[in-house]
Amino acid sequence: MAYSCMRCSAGAGAGASAVRRGAAAMRAPAALSFVRCGLRRPAAAAAAKGVKAGMDAGVENPARSAAPSKVENGLPSEITLDDFEDLNPLSENDESTVTITVVGASGDLAKKKIFPALFALYYEDCLPKHFTIFGYARSKMTDDELRNMVSRTLTCRIDKRENCNEKMEEFLKRCFYHSGQYDSEEHFRDLDKKLKQHEGSSVSNRLFYLSIPPNIFLDVVKCASVSASSVNGWTRVIVEKPFGRDSDSSAALTRGLKQYLVEDQIFRIDHYLGKELVENLSVLRFSNLVFEPLWSRQYIRNVQLIFSEDFGTEGRGGYFDRYGIIRDIMQNHLLQILALFAMETPISLEAEDIRNEKVKVLRSMKPLQLDDVVIGQYKSHTKGGTTYPGYIDDKTVPNDSLTPTFAAAALFINNARWDGVPFLMKAGKALHTKGAEIRVQFRHVPGNLYKRSFGTDLDTATNELVIRVQPDEAIYLKINNKIPGLGMRLDRSKLNLHYAARYSKEIPDAYERLLLDAIEGERRLFIRSDELDAAWELFTPLLKELEEKRIAPELYPYGSRGPVGAHYLAAKYNVRWGDLTTEHKA
């Protein structure tokens, strides 16, 4: 059976336009081989501008010593260069190559998300024909050890599960490892030599994924650009969050990155933008006449953006304590959703047009005020004989930590469309449930003829649109309906688009979409530096105030619904939080 990259039907517009634009902007005569719709065809590379620093042109001839290996017992070992060329045939002036270097390959994110996403893309025939994956980190590992590590994280989650093991083996043969320090130009030069062996004389396109702690981003970008950037194709860098801790550190990071890269080479990832239902937000709104006319203060009473996890910081306490939930979730994931939700109609679906509209929303917002924010921290709780640890029980967290693991906030957009409409955010760890959703509560029906049928609580009778981002993706609209019968009794029903029932296709992981976009040079779902600056401007004064005044978070038990203060905050704006659990599984 031939598998085909789903981009052909879904993303043709975006991907194709990226290629068109890339072709126009191309500086190097790069030709990137793409697989779309199951067909391997050359496409013009969206060649980013070359990095400022030079690189060692070094080794021209592939050395067999660094060649990949053969599959034995399910894992490749001792593959010769000839074998690799069979997998990845390259001839002089053939199509171009793409190498994805996962920097920090030994880490949690690489294992959990990046390698599995790359495999899923490979499985679906979405990766370019000549691709190679390199892991880079300080840990000592052979190629086989990397493959072994990666193989344990790969799953055949894709719906067409045929030939999965075979596909895994083929994929693993394309994975290699190079051990080195993050601040060593020499070690990156060694990496460059290995990359060249795989690239041959073709145009080489290189994507570096920085899956490392932020304090070493700049070291890596410097070394990679000086010693391992492409000389004749594009070089792109995916940067993981956090992008700084506040306006100043974020600006410093951007300045640092721009010493070595131009903006177009930087792909700041916010994986929430790659989630299926977030991607669908614009489709829902701009391609359905029934929604767009209602999308304003005239009809919308409030909007809620809710993120909830039913586990604590397990294993990531060290990182988390320096950032807290506001920086970890609100300033990026929830704010990005808000900007997409609230933006004006962009001129087109081109990345710059969308990002221009998003940044306008962010700039129209007023910075968060302390009295519009509630913070909490989870404490230990015993339930059913099991004791769940509190946040400060984590050994990597100081005993006196005031870092919030929960926050609720009210935000406002001061423009003609949204003036006065509260956008309420709530994000928390160690709560009673796991999920993420967007809730749009509509206004009351003026002069409602059926007012009496609703009793005194009219708020419960207003329409509500719920976009359940995860889990169990769904979009449903709550409406009032007559209960069948001779009397006139009303109830609330749902018009429900439940993805599992409607679509047989499995939903791709956000990292799959974003990695493919980065390879294709599609920037629509990545964060531009001015968006980032505007996002930090909203949160920095609040974060400083919380830290300077050492404001203590309200404690809430592990597994609870979070601090009661969140309800008072919502009540201040006549809002009742939607409940993730009571409506789950419509």
Contact set with ligand NDP (CB under 6 A)? 104, 106-110, 137-139, 182, 211-214, 216, 240-242, 319
List of residues 6+ apart from 37 with CB closer than 8 A: 4, 5, 7, 8, 9
The site partner of 468 among ligand BG6, ligand NDP, none (C-beta below 5 to 8 Å per kind) is none
Q: Between residues 192 and 240, which has the closer beta carbon with respect to ligand NDP? A: 240
Positions in 253-282 near ligand BG6 (CB under 6 A): 271
* Annotated catalytic residue within 187, 198, 333, 432: 333
Closer to ligand NDP by CB, 202 or 254: give it.
Answer: 254
**DSSP 3-state of 459:** helix
Q: For residue 346, what are the contacts with CB-CB under 8 A and spacing of at least 6?
A: 353, 354, 356, 357
Partner from ligand NDP, ligand BG6, none binding residue 561, C-beta < 5-8 Å depending on class: none
> Edge-to-edge, what's the strand order for the sheet holding 464-470?
490-498, 474-482, 464-470, 435-442, 300-308, 423-428, 406-411, 373-379, 554-557
What is the closest distance, in whole angstroms, from the C-beta atom of residue 469 to ligand BG6 in the complex? 8
Residue 328 binds what, of ligand BG6, ligand NDP, none (CB under 5 to 8 Å, by partner type)? ligand BG6
Tokens 């640092």 belong to which residue? Answer: 256
> Looking at 169, 199, 328, 437, which residue binds ligand BG6 (CB under 6 A)?
328
User: Are the CB atoms for 1 and 24 separated by under 8 Å?
Assistant: no
307 forms beta bridges with 427, 436
**In angstroms, what is the minimal distance from the CB of 288 to ligand BG6?**
26
Q: Is 498 marked active-site? A: no
Pick 186 or 491: Cβ nearer ligand NDP: 186
Closer residue to ligand NDP (CB): 184 or 462 = 184
CB of 441 to ligand BG6, least distance (A): 23
What type of residue sits at position 513? Answer: R
Q: Which does 233 bind (CB under 5 to 8 A by kind): ligand NDP, ligand BG6, none?
A: none
- List, in sequence order, every residue forming a beta bridge with 169; answer none if it has no partner: none
Closest CA to 17 of 521, 581, 548, 561: 521
Asked if 452 contacts 489 with a C-beta cutoff of 8 angstroms, the reply is: no
Nearest in space to 351 (alpha carbons), one of 262, 282, 271: 282
Binding letters toward ligand BG6, positions 143-162, x by CB under 6 A: --------------------
d(CA 110, CA 332): 20
Q: Is 394 in the site for ligand BG6 (CB under 6 A)?
A: no
Q: Which residues contact residue 65 at a Cβ distance below 8 angstroms, ignoring those fewer than 6 apart?
A: none
Cβ proximity of 210 and 103 under 8 Å: yes
Query: Encoding tokens for residue 535?
Result: 């996002």
17 binds, among ligand BG6, ligand NDP, none (CB under 5 to 8 A by kind): none
Q: Which residue is nearest to ligand NDP (CB)?
A: 107
- What tokens appear for 473 in the block? 């993706």
Instruction: Name the residue nearer to ligand NDP (CB basis): 107 or 256.
Output: 107
Q: Point out the residue whose Cβ comes nearest to ligand BG6.
A: 328
Q: CB of residue 187 vs ligand NDP: minimum separation in angstroms?
A: 11
137 three-class SS:
strand
Whichever of 44 and 515 has its CB closer to ligand NDP, that residue is 515
The option from ligand BG6, ligand NDP, none interacting with 137 (CB < 5 to 8 A, set by class) reads ligand NDP
- Judged by beta carbon, residue 325 or residue 343, the one nearer ligand BG6 is 325
d(CA 150, CA 143): 10
Q: How many residues bind ligand BG6 (CB under 6 A)?
A: 3
- 240's contact among ligand NDP, ligand BG6, none, with CB below 5 to 8 A by partner kind, is ligand NDP
Give dist(CA 126, CA 328) in Å, integer: 30
**DSSP code, position 351:** H
- Tell me which residues touch ligand BG6 (CB under 6 A): 271, 309, 328
Catalytic residues: 333
